[in-house]
Amino acid sequence: MPTDTPNRVAAIDCGTNSIRLLVSDVVGENKIDIVREMRIVRLGQDVDKTGHLADEAIARTLTATREFATLIRTLGADRVRFCATSAARDADNAEEFSDAIEGIIGVRPVVLSGEEEAKASFLGAAGDLPVARTLVVDIGGGSTELIVGTGDHVEWSVSLNIGSVRMTERYLSSDPPTVAEASDCMAYVDTVLDKVIGDIAPIDLFVGVAGTITTVAAHTLAIPSYDSDAIHHAELKLGDVSNACISLARMTVADRRALPFMHPGRADVIGGGALILDRLIERLPLHTATLLVSEHDILDGIAWSLAV
């Protein structure tokens, strides 16, 4: 458990589509967030096809890391942890990427396994949730994590190689996607889910985290701009969420980019993530009619791990 000695920690989550920084003061059971930053760097560009991190994707990520390193030094973080996930797991040049990151930030990246990524996501999301049998879903750019637990205890988790970038690159090449492309994407997601759905007992609390789900939530709420306060712990009817997913999947990239809450770096891949969420809602054994959305996720879990 965290100690009563104040710790200023810096957590970095480097995913397939974005890299994010959280600097927090952790004292005992309390975490006070100082700053959250995100850059869309698309580290996983074409990794599904090539198994290799592209030079231009690495360059974008290193630029963002330099910005984060300056901010971390300015804020005086005592401890830093840099975690990489799906794209780095899949890439044959991840070691070279890690060498470059270590030269900038001063710590070597930890490439999380799918199980480690899932547990960190649950830890980040569950801290301020009611105690109930909970399923946390984290749809990333390269993978999707499903985690079942109660309180801070994880009883089951799985990491699936379906994500917004991966599904878009593999299936959704048209703008907007054709019906056939979307159908093929959903059929593949169903095939992946078929292998794990039977392992999940009925769920009382369904929680969604990370950029795909928070963006779908913004669309469901029809908010005039991205508003973390409005999104965090919003409780949304599953039917409304599914309608929002299909709506986003049918749009052109330009129409998505014109939405007032849409980050421009998500506009071209949100359709793939939205179709994953729609299939999860359709297939999961849920004892609830709502999705609880959380702005707290793997990044918060990494921060908590630094305070132990």
Q: Lowest mean pLDDT of 33-37, 115-119, 220-224, name the range.
A: 115-119
Section 52-63 average pLDDT: 95
Name the average pLDDT for the chain.
Answer: 91
27 and 176: one domain?
no
Q: Is 46 left (phi over 0), alpha (psi -120 to 50) or beta?
A: left
**pLDDT at 6 (0 to 100):** 66
**pLDDT at 109 (0 to 100):** 94
**pLDDT at 2 (0 to 100):** 46
164 and 273: one domain?
yes
149 and 242: one domain?
yes
C-alpha span between 203 and 283 (Å, rounded): 12
Residue 14's H or E segment, with its range, is strand 7-14
- Tell me how far CA of residue 83 lies from CA of 20, 23, 57, 114, 172, in angstroms: 10, 14, 17, 12, 29
Interior/surface letters 229-268, b for 16+ CB within 10 angstroms, e for the rest: ebbeebebebeebbebbebbbebebeebbebebbbebbbb
22 and 152: one domain?
no
pTM for this predicted structure: 0.87
Count of structural domains, the chain: 2
280 and 154: one domain?
yes
**CATH at residue 42:** 3.30.420.40
> pLDDT exceeding 70 applies to what percent of the chain?
98
Listed ranges 129-133, 164-168, 283-287; the one with the highest mean pLDDT = 164-168
pLDDT value at 3 more than 80: no
- Tell me how far CA of residue 204 lies from CA of 193, 201, 235, 290, in angstroms: 19, 10, 13, 10
C-alpha span between 281 and 217 (Å, rounded): 14
**pLDDT at 123 (0 to 100):** 87
Residue 286 lies in a domain: yes
Q: Report pLDDT digits (tens) over 167-212.
A: 999 999 999 999 999 999 999 999 999 999 888 888 889 999 998 9
pLDDT value at 276 more than 50: yes
**pLDDT at 70 (0 to 100):** 96
Q: Report pLDDT digits (tens) over 138-151.
A: 999 989 999 999 88
For residue 227, name the pLDDT band (cuts at 50, 70, 90).
very high
**pLDDT at 1 (0 to 100):** 44
170 and 89: one domain?
no
